[in-house]
Structure 1
Amino acid sequence: MIEAVGLTKRYGDRLAVDQLSFTVKPGQVTGFLGPNGAGKSTTMRMILGLDAPSGGTVTVNGKPFVELANPMREVGALLEAKAIHGGRSAYNHLLCLAQSNNLPRRRVDEVLELVGLTEVARKRAKGFSLGMGQRLGIATALLGDPKILIFDEPVNGLDPEGILWIRNFMKMLAAEGRTVFVSSHLMSEMENTADHLLVIGRGRMIADCTVQEFIDANSELVVRVRTPEPTRLAALVTGDGGKAVPDGEGTLLVTDLTMDRIGDLAFDNGVRLHELSPLQASLEQAFMELTRDSVEYHAAVPGVDEKGRA
């Protein structure tokens, strides 16, 4: 388990992380989200003892990382997949780490097989594709068989097969009861992978909840209604305090009323319905809505307003 209490980091006059308090629990994938410059990488570096906090504390299994007697056996991390000596083979890279951390040689073969690199184990890492490099980085994180795993942007630049593999692999690790903490800018991946979310903006915590709770709290319920009497139903919806916008022939998009209420209105007034379905907002839409005021750098796109509308 990872626990932070009032975690703060200041670089000169800039407050990169501001009083963060959170718990990353075992048995689930916890997604760590935020706009560029929000403080995600700094927070991860403080967890791993690479940066010292200016205030507050962060512990791993109840201790600061620097006090762990055998850190590779307790925490594995992937912060920079290509941070390896390109002249070494995958096997020798892992063997060097195993020997320097008093880990058994057999563990090298085990993690190589686990991440699917057995066949290229003797090849030099400089010839690896980005996906192979990510797999080697994960193998490195797993070398000590730790119960806590931290991944920073693990799917960056990967092809669909690689993304699917990492997604399923992280879920498997969590299912084994491990603590999995992952930062990513790919909202679709977090929606498919994470169980819980920590969302920060400008160094501050702005959401700590499940994925579904986050979507529900930061998006508007839209109901798609298809009927042979759209004009009449639209008038009924408006009269009941809702909003109805045409969305093609015979179809309305209704907001500010529940599906049950729309169905009751139609039934009570003899309006036939051919479709009544919710349109679920995506994690990306909810994230953009919540973090709009926390984005440090805005790029103007001709013909598009600040909410992304043409």
Structure 2
Amino acid sequence: MIEAVGLSKRYGDKLAVDRLSFSVKPGQVTGFLGPNGAGKSTTMRMILGLDAPTSGTVTVNGKPFRQAAHPLREVGALLDAKAVHGGRSAYNHLLCLAQTNNLPKKRVDEVLGLVGLGGVAKKRSKGFSLGMGQRLGIAAALLGDPKVLMFDEPVNGLDPEGILWIRNLMKALAAEGRTVFVSSHLMSEMENTADHLIVIGRGKLVADCTVQEFIDNNSELSIRVRTPQLEQLGAVLAGKGGTVRADGEDALVVTKLGMAEIGDLAFDNQIRVHELSPIQASLEQAFMELTKDSVEYHAAVPAGKEAAA
């Protein structure tokens, strides 16, 4: 279990993390989300004792991680897959980690096989692709068979098979009762993988809830209505306060009215309805809505591109 209480980090005039409190519980995959510059990487570095908090505390299984006698046996972390000596083979890189943590030599072969690098174990890591480097970083995180695992952008560079593999791996690790904490900008992956979410913006906690609660709380219910009397139904619904837009030639998307209310209005006005169904908002839509005021870096549209689009 990871627990942060009033965690803050200041770099000069910049407050990167602002009185952050949260718990990452075992037995589930917890997604860690936030825009660029929100403080995610700084928070993960403080959990691992790589950066000291300006104030507040963060513990792993009840104590600061710096006090761990055998770090890799307690926490496995992937923060930067490129932090590898390029001249070493994958095998020798993991062997060095194993020896410094009193781990058996056979564990190196086990994790290389687990991440699919057994066939390139003797190759120097500087020749690895981005995806292979990610797999090597994940192997290092798993080396000590730890109860707590932290991954920062674990699917970066992986192909579709690799993405499915890491998704299933994280779920399996959580199902074993481990604490799995993963930061990612890929909302579709978080929606498919995470059970719980911790969302921050400008260093502050903005949400701590399940994925479904996050979507429900930060998106507006939309209803798709298919009817041969499109204009007539649209006028009726707009007259009752609904927000209506076309969705193809025979359907409307309606907000601010419920399904029962839409159905009753159609019936009362003798309008045939062929479909009446809710539209499930995505995690990405809910995330963009919640964090729109917390985005620190806004990109401009290049001149001429907007008109061309």
TM-score, length basis structure 2 = 0.94
Alignment of 1:160-179 (within 5 A): 160-179=160-179
What residue identity is the alignment partner of 2:175? A
> CA separation in 1, counterparts of 2:33 and 2:300?
23
Per-residue CA deviation, residues 172-192 of structure 1 (Å, 9 max, x unaligned), is: 211211111111111111111
Counterpart secondary structure, 2:292: helix
CA apart distance, 1:70: 1.7
Alignment of 1:55-74 (within 5 A): 55-74=55-74
Show the counterpart of 1:307.
none
> Percent identity over the alignment?
80
Q: Is the 2:134–2:157 contact (alpha carbons within 8 Å) kept by the matching residues of 1? A: no
CA apart distance, 1:271: 2.2
Per-residue CA deviation, residues 32-60 of structure 1 (Å, 9 max, x unaligned), is: 11111110000000000000000000000
> CA separation in 2, counterparts of 1:63 and 1:195?
25
**Alignment gaps of 5+ in structure 2:** none
Per-residue CA deviation, residues 247-266 of structure 1 (Å, 9 max, x unaligned), is: 33221111111122222332
Counterpart secondary structure, 1:298: coil
Show the counterpart of 1:247.
247
What residue identity is the alignment partner of 1:134? Q
Alignment of 1:37-186 (within 5 A): 37-186=37-186
Per-residue CA deviation, residues 215-249 of structure 1 (Å, 9 max, x unaligned), is: 11111111110111222322332343322223332
> CA separation in 2, counterparts of 1:184 and 1:162?
15
> CA separation in 2, counterparts of 1:259 and 1:302?
42
What residue identity is the alignment partner of 1:150? M
> CA separation in 2, counterparts of 1:246 and 1:131?
42
Per-residue CA deviation, residues 79-114 of structure 1 (Å, 9 max, x unaligned), is: 111211111111111111111111111111111111
**Alignment gaps of 5+ in structure 1:** 305-309
Show the counterpart of 2:209.
209
Show the counterpart of 1:292.
292
CA apart distance, 1:302: 5.5
Counterpart secondary structure, 1:294: coil
> CA separation in 2, counterparts of 1:303 and 1:199?
33
CA apart distance, 1:281: 1.7
CA apart distance, 1:303: 8.6
> CA separation in 1, counterparts of 2:157 and 2:105?
31
Matched residue pairs, number?
305
Residue 275 of structure 1 pairs with residue 275 of structure 2 = yes
The runs of at least 4 consecutive aligned structure 1 residues that moved more than 4 Å come to none
> CA separation in 1, counterparts of 2:245 and 2:38?
36
Distance 1:95 1:302, change over 3 A: closer
> CA separation in 1, counterparts of 2:197 and 2:66?
26
> CA separation in 2, counterparts of 1:210 and 1:22?
13
Counterpart secondary structure, 1:293: coil
> CA separation in 2, counterparts of 1:247 and 1:144?
53
Per-residue CA deviation, residues 116-164 of structure 1 (Å, 9 max, x unaligned), is: 1111111111111111111111110011100100001111232222222
Show the counterpart of 2:18.
18
